[in-house]
Amino acid sequence: MKKSSIRWHRLGVSVGGSLAIGAMTLLGASAPAVAAPRLSDSLSNANGFVGVSEVAYSDGTVTDTFRNAAGAQVNVTGPRGMVVDIGPVVAQGSSGKVFYSQSVGARPPALDKSTPGAADRAIAAYEAAGRSVMNDAIHNGMDAAAAKQMLAPSGSVLNAAAAEVRLSAPNATAGGTIIMSWCTSAKSSDGKVNGHACDVQKMDQDNGGGDWYVMDEQTASGWSTDTNWFPERLTQLAQWVAYPGGNTIVNWKPSGTQTIGNCTSVTSGINDPKTGLTFTATSTICPNTFGPYTITGTQFGTTWKGQEPSANYYEGSEAVDEVHSPPSASDSPYLYVHIWW
């Protein structure tokens, strides 16, 4: 289906032999010889990318853009002070064709969970700033119509806190409300292959003293715009969260890989019997397969694999995970998006 009817669907290929030298030359592994502007976010891994611009918004978020010498680009959108992990652009040859992949992750600043009321303050600050993950996605480069369909399927803005507040007990932290949201995106050097991901982190249960259960509602989309005779096409899309040590992912959905025969609406959800709250992510998933991408004690995400039938078809991926974050652990994960073409 075309953009007017949108569908949704880690970077681990290696460079071998003589292709490695050619690929690294082609992909511009060295940074451009220009002074980088001062950005609000910092790089933990650059892999030849440098900061080129920052745009600030009235809700207190920023979009920082990084680019390598060949023109490949990544964007991160969220609160100031995020840490950005950019993977290398990797090339691999097969049957006379070169395939590429690229990834980027971003981690928001951690909250000081040791102070009483930390979760309530984070929830209140998010709402007071007028933030929404839909705006994050649009600022990150997603088409506005796509963001509205992907992130507000019920017709309501995803961070409409007044509609989402469900108190687990009198005067308790508002369960089900948004603590943080942020987005990442990657684009090929010719600008024709794109991937976006967003995470909405919500409070599930605050046991006091920084002992939290939080939920991640992850969504991703990818597409190509190449209309040439021998076009570049997205073949895999993945998104995942990676928490610091000390946290434990205790529940996740989906739990297995599905074969997708036709484009269909898929909802991944977790109902927590401790609080009675339900957390979901819904996307239209198209052929061929969709399921978990990485499952460890601190990481979870999903991947779509297939072949775009033509330009401007959206492929999607989604996941929901529950994390126990004890007092000694940071609640802030990296959110990664990874594209293959």
CA dist 303 and 220 (Å) reads 9
Residue with tokens 């998104």: 239
Classify each residue of 77-107 as buried b or exposed e, where b means 16 or more C-beta atoms within 10 Å of its C-beta.
Answer: bbbeebbbbbbbbbbbbeeeeebbbbbbbbb
Residue 201 DSSP SS3:
strand
d(CA 96, CA 193): 20
Whether the link from the prior residue into 244 is cis, omega within 30° of 0, is: no
The boundaries of the domain holding residue 112 are 19-340
51, 316, 327 from 339: Cα distances, Å: 21, 11, 35
Strand, coil or helix: 123:
helix
Query: pLDDT in tens for each of the 341 residues of the chain?
Result: 444 333 333 333 333 333 333 333 334 444 444 556 789 999 999 999 999 999 999 999 999 999 999 999 999 999 999 999 999 999 988 777 789 999 999 999 999 998 888 999 999 999 999 999 999 999 999 888 878 777 753 322 333 333 233 323 333 355 678 999 999 999 999 999 999 999 999 999 999 999 999 999 999 999 999 999 888 999 999 999 999 999 999 999 999 999 999 999 999 999 999 899 999 998 889 999 999 999 999 999 999 999 888 888 889 999 999 999 999 999 999 999 999 99
Q: Is residue 52 part of a domain?
A: yes
Displacement of CA 198 from its chain's centroid (Å): 4
The answer to whether position 11 is within a domain reads no
Residue 219 resides in a domain: yes
Q: How far apart are CA 110 and CA 39, in angstroms?
A: 19
Is the residue at 13 inside a domain? no
4 domain residue, yes or no: no
| 3 found inside a domain | no
Contact 198, 131 (CB under 8 A): no
Cβ atoms of residues 189 and 156 within 8 Å: no
Looking at the structure of the chain, the number of domains it has is 1
CA-to-CA distance for 139 and 133, rounded, in angstroms?
10
Token readout for 16 is: 């071998």
Comparing CA positions, the residue from 22, 2, 196 lying closest to residue 100 is 22
Q: Tell me if 293 is assigned to some domain.
A: yes
